[in-house]
Chain A
Amino acid sequence: MAKTMFEKVWELHEVVPETADTPAVLFIDLHLTHEVTSPQAFTLLREKGLPVRRRDLTFATMDHSTPTTTDQVFGGVPIKLASARGQVEQFERNCADFNVELLGLQDHKRGIVHIIGPEMGLTQPGKTIVCGDSHTSTHGAFGALAFGIGSTEVGHVFATQCLLQRKARTMAVNVEGTLAPGVSAKDVVLAIINEIGVSGGTGHVLEYRGSTIRAMSMEERMTVCNMSIEAGARAGMIAPDETTFAYLQGRERAPQGAAWDAAVAAWRNLATDEGARFDREVHIDATKIRPMVTYGTHPGMSIAIGDTVPVREGDAVYAASLAYMGLQPGQAVTDVPVNVVFVGSCTNGRLSDLEEVASVLRGRKVAPGVHMLIVPGSQQVKREAEARGLHEVFAAAGAEWRESGCSMCLGMNGDTVAKGQYCVSTSNRNFEGRQGVGSRTLLASPLTAAASAVTGRVTDPRSLLA
């Protein structure tokens, strides 16, 4: 029988299949862990006297609470935020006590967990990958089944390398056509979320398909899969192809030599079979997508930059959302004054994102009064960007360039947006207070973020592209 990619990966990881009374026991090939959602799971292990069952499949880094200023990372200055410092120190102790491989604060390979997994070649097609973090969906770009879990489940995977799971439904997201210049993967995924809705993917694993997706680089595919959770789907997948294999070949933790050839041969069988049935299908015409921006307080509240904030009479929740954002129905979003621009996060903190930003900033200045913060997704991204001289472009434009981490995406480390300020952000969530108490987030692509930094208003980047 014809099967979807999700069904194939699922069946390859069934330790015990599900029944009416019990969920499946699903084997996990890669468990990524970080300082925020693991402490309570380590406590569970200590209480029960259990070891980490598969240390070889467990990999730790620190990213959420970590500082991004060089003095605190490398200069010997203690982490200024005391609660963050305590969490980082607890994580170091936990990883040491349980003998889990950790990329510590000063490790040259450290970075956001969803950036370094692929970067190191840990993320591979056909794997089951979990992390106590909802943006684990990112890894689905490689044809892995990757999803976020809670801390209790982090403990389950530590102790047994397995999870109890019910099989999800499947949804095909077919994206067809060539993107217009200046329209990027972030615009595509914002358009998809706009179409599906922020809960449209609940209970489903998405599979992104079609010519637009096939034409994307791995970094672009990761941007799309990253935001699957913003449509309610725990996981989003893309079939592995030559682009996937070319990205992975030669990476440190990818299979090498004969093992590589065998792995690629197996990975070629993962794609959804011709004639396989999805529970639901949606179709997106990529040729119609324009640069997008959010105007409200969830990622589904987005418009093309040239459009006006929609009018919805009699919707109190909608009115409250606009009031929080300080916007009026019918207002042009290009009127919004920008205070802060944040480039980074697991959504858009990769080298190609920084190159796009530099392409706009080169020979231009950040507008007076705008604070632009550029935070690479990993230390490797930082090194590669600097090797290309991008940091000099950023400095010349007046933007700040930091060490890697989640930073202003959620402000846990103290990198926050002040109350009432507008931040054009390449991150993934525009929830109330996400970037700091009272912060107002406008999600957009790296190109749009850079263009908005230059003009001080929300700006369609095509107006600045040669």
Chain B
Amino acid sequence: MEPIRILRSRTVVMATTNIDTDQIIPARFLTTTTKEGLGAQLFADWRYDASGAPKPDFILNTPAAQGCQVLVAGRNIGCGSSREHAPWALVDFGFRAVISTEIADIFRNNSLKNGLLPVIVDTATHEWLLANPGVEVTLDLESRELGLPDGRKVTFPVEAFARFCLLNGTDELGYLLGQGDAIAAYEARHGKQAAA
């Protein structure tokens, strides 16, 4: 995983509330057995018409959205299905952060594991971002600050260990594997060892 320290990007705004993971990537694309290339199917049912042609008025198809790494979404993005294909698709498309007032639990967890920074902001900041699409913002993971164009800094919460992993490009599995002795001790203490 690529470390994240500072992201500087224009924003893409999708103000719709409760954007569920079925919208981010519809179920019919989940028969894949890899993580790669899902960006092509990101928001497929909003993005393409019945013939598969891009809808010109959909935000991700507009020139303004190209190269943007920060998605500002309406309240409660990522609800519904646990499919990790949702952050895989967002990252493959080029996003590195999602900003909203509420982000669903499983999607937030999955995002953190794929170098997609979930950023929760207060309602006033959120409303300003929704009303000003395309502004350049800075996300500083070290200081946990969102920098707005007028110089304002807004602090956002990030779970300490996930932040450490994102800053260093560290894989959580390595840490868990390092707990092998503690896991074996737990199994013995609770009589949960594997049957021979």
Using CB atoms and an 8 Å cutoff, list the residues of chain A in contact with chain B: 12, 15-16, 20-23, 25, 27, 29, 36-37, 39-40, 43-44, 48, 50, 54-57, 64-65, 81, 83-84, 86-87, 90, 132-134, 148-153, 155-156, 159-162, 164, 166, 198-199, 202-203, 229-230, 232, 234, 298, 317, 320, 410-412, 419, 429, 431-434, 437-438
Contact = CB atoms under 8 A, between A and B. Distances in A.
Nearest to B174: A48
Contacts of A134: 80-82, 106
Given A36-B30, A56-B194, A25 B183 contact: yes
Given A40-B35, A298-B18, A164 B176 contact: yes
Contacts of A81: 31
Contacts of A159: 173, 176-177
Interface in B80-134: 80-84, 87, 102, 104-106, 109-110, 113-114
Contact of B179 (A16, A320, A433): A16
A198 B18 contact: yes
7 contacts: A16-B182, A22-B160, A86-B31, A90-B33, A134-B81, A198-B79, A437-B26
- Centre residue among A55, A152, A202 by max chain B CB count within 10 A: A152
How would you classify the secondary structure of chain B's contact residues: helix, strand, loop or mixed? loop
Contacts of B34: 39-40, 43
A159 B18 CA distance: 33
Given A317-B17, A433-B26, A56 B195 contact: yes
A15 B179 contact: yes
A16 B179 CA distance: 9
B150 interface: no
Nearest to A134: B82
Contacts of B22: 410, 429, 431-434
Contacts of A149: 82, 106, 109
Contacts of B179: 15-16, 25, 160, 162
Contact of B161 (A164, A198, A230): A164
A21 B158 CA distance: 11
Nearest to A84: B31
A185 B80 CA distance: 20
A423 to B, nearest CB: 15
Interface of B: 15-18, 20, 22-23, 26-28, 30-35, 45, 50, 74-76, 79-84, 87, 102, 104-106, 109-110, 113-114, 159-161, 164, 172-173, 175-177, 179-180, 182-183, 186-187, 190, 192, 194-195
Given A27-B186, A54-B194, A40 B81 contact: no
A232 B105 CA distance: 7
Given A56-B194, A431-B23, 11 more contacts: A43-B34, A134-B81, A134-B82, A149-B109, A159-B173, A161-B183, A198-B18, A203-B105, A230-B80, A429-B20, A437-B26
A21 B84 contact: no
A38 to B, nearest CB: 9
Contact of B84 (A37, A54, A411): A37
Interface-central residue, A86, A87, A151, A320, by most chain B CB under 10 Å: A151
Given A39-B33, A134-B81, A317-B74, A156 B106 contact: no
8 closest A-B pairs by CB: A39-B33, A83-B31, A150-B84, A150-B110, A148-B82, A199-B76, A134-B82, A15-B186
A411 B26 CA distance: 10
Contact of B106 (A166, A234, A432): A234
B183 A160 contact: yes
A443 to B, nearest CB: 13
Given A90-B33, A162-B183, A153 B159 contact: no
B98 to A, nearest CB: 15
Given A27-B183, A199-B102, A431 B33 contact: no
Contacts of A29: 192
B102 A202 contact: yes
Contacts of B109: 149-150, 153
B104 A199 contact: yes
A60 to B, nearest CB: 15
A161 B182 CA distance: 12
Given A25-B182, A150-B109, A164 B104 contact: no
Contacts of B79: 198-199, 232, 298
B144 to A, nearest CB: 14
A21 B160 contact: yes
B28 A15 contact: no
A198 B20 CA distance: 11
A56 B175 CA distance: 23
A84 B32 CA distance: 9
B113 A152 contact: yes
Contacts of A433: 22-23, 26, 45
B46 to A, nearest CB: 8
A134 B105 CA distance: 11
A113 to B, nearest CB: 12
A150 B106 contact: yes
B23 to A, nearest CB: 6
B189 to A, nearest CB: 9
Nearest to A25: B179
A156 B183 contact: no
B176 A162 contact: yes
